[in-house]
Structure 1
Amino acid sequence: MSAPVVLRVIEFINKAAGIVLTTEKAYFIEARLSPVLREESLPSIDELLTRAERGDRRLAQRIVDALTTNETFFFRDKAPFDHFRNIIIPELISRRPPGKAIRIWCAACSSGQEPFSLVMILDELKAQLGGRNVEIHASDISEAILNKAKSGTFNQFEVQRGLPTKMLLQYFQKDGDNWKISQDVVRRVNFFKFNLLDDPRSLGTFDVVFCRNVLIYFDRPTRAKIFDKIADRLAPDGFMLLGGAESTFGVTDRFASHPKERMLHLPLARKAAAIPARTA
């Protein structure tokens, strides 16, 4: 693959999805796009790119699907889910009237392990919720990975990463060499395609936003824009959770980090000191 083609791919994926790749990723680009060439019977990445640039939306989506990273697992990093169980849900229950739904957005949800983990935690908290409606909306830019999430099917390696055995037996059934999660769990998540570069106003307002392990693929100006979009969609007393390698520091003034909980962030007007730290 020639250097000019590499640069065109880098420009294309940055414009389409905000993802920053460098010329050092040429091998990665070629390895990810080669299967697309074979499946589409195309002679070169140059031809694939040319067709996408000329308006072939299906091929453009295939490029995005191939070049996005979909690393995830159940209860990833543990701490954000402890925050959700021990801080966020109790706080929202105390602040929201019983008839008002609690709305959660999992941005960049990948193959669904994050929102499915939240469903399992909400089942644990059923008595505290007292019949209160909790909506989980989960988005990703990749159509292929959303289809996998909607299928609720995971291989042995995927269910061994972070998922307690008790939950595996409670929520999953063996399906050949794979495991299939209960359709009741799948139905409780609204999966939809969404590009974080787009305007999220049509999505409504959320009480909690999980935007974890995706911002590391964007440059600082793009991260700042995404933080602005999230801040505009987050309730004034809402919560945002980031990945372990992500921070708002030096990027945005719309959020304040919780003083004791590293991955938990609050709208700037919120008094972080009023939120209790997680107890062990």
Structure 2
Amino acid sequence: MRSEDFEFLADMLKRRSGLMLTKDKVYLLESRLTPLARNHGLESLEALVQKLRVSRSEALAVEVTEAMTTNESFFFRDNTPFDLFKKHVLPMVEKTNTTKRLRIWCAAASTGQEPYSLAMILKENWFKWKDWNIEIVGTDICTQVLEKAKKGHYSQFEVQRGLPIQMLIKYFTQDGDVWKLNDEIKSMVKYRPFNLLDSYSTLGSFDVIFCRNVLIYFDQKTKSDVLERMRRNLSDQGVLFLGAAETVLGITDAFKPVRGQRGLYVPSAGNVEQLMGF
């Protein structure tokens, strides 16, 4: 790939999605965008870049951005965040939240496995939550993966990745090679397209935010901006879950890590960690 074409795509992707690409990731551009170029009847990636330059097509720019978005997800991924959510976050919410309203945001929700995992945890103890107003919001920049999430249809391979067999039997129905999530769980999650670089003013306030394995693709300035805006959309007794390889240290003072609990962060001002029993 020509250097000027790489620079053009890298700049466009950073502006549109925050994604940082270094030159050692040229292979990613080639592997993900060459099929897109062919779908548009173009002979090469260079031709795709030229079309982007000349036409300034918003639709094509969206396709390119979505093609470069990493969308891997699976049920109960890494286990630890979901154990913390079940054993520490939910008991704290139950004891301290007098409004009986719980809002959870899964940023970069991809094909829905993360928000549906949270929904199943809540459903397992529904006698505690049946009188609560619970809203799980799943967002992603890629509309294609959100459509799959809304359907709640998963392959045998997808349900085998992390989903306990008892939950598979309880909440899914098999139809040939497809496992269909039941409507009761699907109805607990609302999906909407959202770019983490856009304004957060329409999202409202949340008690729990999951933003896992997203910040690793951003530069330091973008990470700081995203985290500080998330803090403004998080209640003072809220919690933030990041990926195991991510941190707030050296990036923002808005959050602090909960000692000994990998990936769990709370507002710097306050005692949320004590309320959770840490």
TM-score when scaled to structure 2? 0.95
Structure 1 counterpart of 2:129: 129
Q: Which runs of 5+ in 1 are unaligned?
A: none
Q: Distance in 1 between matches of 2:271 and 2:101?
A: 23
Q: What are the superposed Cα offsets for residues 72-96 of structure 1, whole Å, 9 maximum, x if unpaired?
A: 1100111111111111111111112
Q: CA deviation at 1:35?
A: 1.4
SS in 1 for 2:216: helix
Amino acid of the structure 2 residue aligned with 1:202: T
Which secondary structure state, in structure 1, belongs to the residue aligned with residue 202 of structure 2?
A: helix
Which deviates the most, 148-157 or 176-185?
176-185
CA contact (8 A) 1:37 1:44 kept: yes
Could you tell me how far apart the structure 2 residues matched to 1:249 and 1:147 are?
35
* 2:81 pairs with 1:96: no
Aligned-partner SS, 2:105: strand
Counterpart of 1:206 in structure 2 is 206
Amino acid in the other structure paired with 2:140: D
Q: Residue in 2 aligned with 1:58? A: 59
CA RMSD of superposed structures (Å): 1.6
State the match for 1:166 in structure 2: 166
Structure 2 counterpart of 1:207, one-letter code? D
Over 3 Å counting, the alpha-carbon distance change for 1:187 and 1:40 in structure 2 is: farther
Query: How much has 1:55 moved relative to structure 2?
Result: 3.5
Tell me which moved more, 259-268 or 110-119.
259-268
Alpha-carbon shift at residue 188 of structure 1 (Å): 1.5
Between the two proteins, the alignment pairs up a number of residues equal to 277
- Whole-angstrom CA distance in 1 between matches of 2:173 and 2:49: 41
TM superposition shift of 1:40: 1.7
Distance in structure 1 (CA, Å) of the matches to 2:273 and 2:213: 26
Task: Tell me the secondary structure at the aligned position of residue 201 of structure 1.
Answer: coil
Aligned partners of 1:222 and 1:76: how far apart in 2?
Answer: 25
Name the residue aligned to 2:241: 241
Q: Corresponding residue for 2:74?
A: 73
Partner of 1:85: 86
Runs of 4+ in 1 over 4 A off after TM superposition: none
CA distance in 1, matches of 2:88, 2:139: 24
* Residue identity matched to 2:203: L
Q: By how many angstroms is 1:179 displaced?
A: 1.4
SS in 1 for 2:179: strand
Q: TM-score, normalised by structure 1?
A: 0.94
Query: Structure 1 residues 273 and 100, CA, compared in 2 at 3 Å: closer, same or farther?
Result: closer
Deviation at 1:263, TM superposition (A): 1.4
Equivalent in the alignment of 1:110:
110
**Pairwise CA distance, 1:50:** 4.1
Gaps of 5+ in 2: none
- What does 1:15-30 correspond to in 2, within 5 Å? 15-30=15-30
CA distance in 2, matches of 1:175, 1:42: 38
